[in-house]
Amino acid sequence: MGTGIVALGVLQIFVLPHVLAPQHAQYVGIFSFSRLFRVTRMMRHMSFNWTENDWFQYLSGGVICLNAAVLGFETDSPNPAWWWVNQGILLFFVFEIVVRSREGKL
């Protein structure tokens, strides 16, 4: 599977941009999803014992406090940039749920 992912990456970066017509070059990025398989395989074999360390607990609490502050700022001054901040916080929360469920501590 690792060889296939590397082959798709080489195809995406070096071959397809030169073979496809310019109007179809936007479809080259479709092979990027294959990197997700690599990350998933890597996460299956990792140990997530570090999620019980104090630094990760403090980090999670800090992100929760940051989320509360962002909600307050977002209410007072609406700005499209808050959407990106919320997406970053959401990404951290999803990561936390995944690693905790992988470790069986959820």
Residues 38-77 pLDDT 10s: 667 776 777 778 888 899 999 999 999 999 999 999 988 8
Cα dihedral sign for 19, 22, 24, 25? positive
Q: Give pLDDT, residue 47.
A: 77
Total length of the chain = 106
Asked whether the predicted pLDDT for residue 88 surpasses 90, the reply is yes
Token couple for 88:
């970053």
Nearest Cα residue to 6 out of 40, 36, 35, 39: 35
Is residue 31 very low, low, confident or very high in pLDDT (cuts 50, 70, 90)? low
Residue 56: partners with Cβ closer than 8 Å, 6 or more residues away:
50
The amino acid occupying position 28 is V
Is residue 29 very low, low, confident or very high in pLDDT (cuts 50, 70, 90)? low
Asked whether the predicted pLDDT for residue 6 surpasses 70, the reply is no
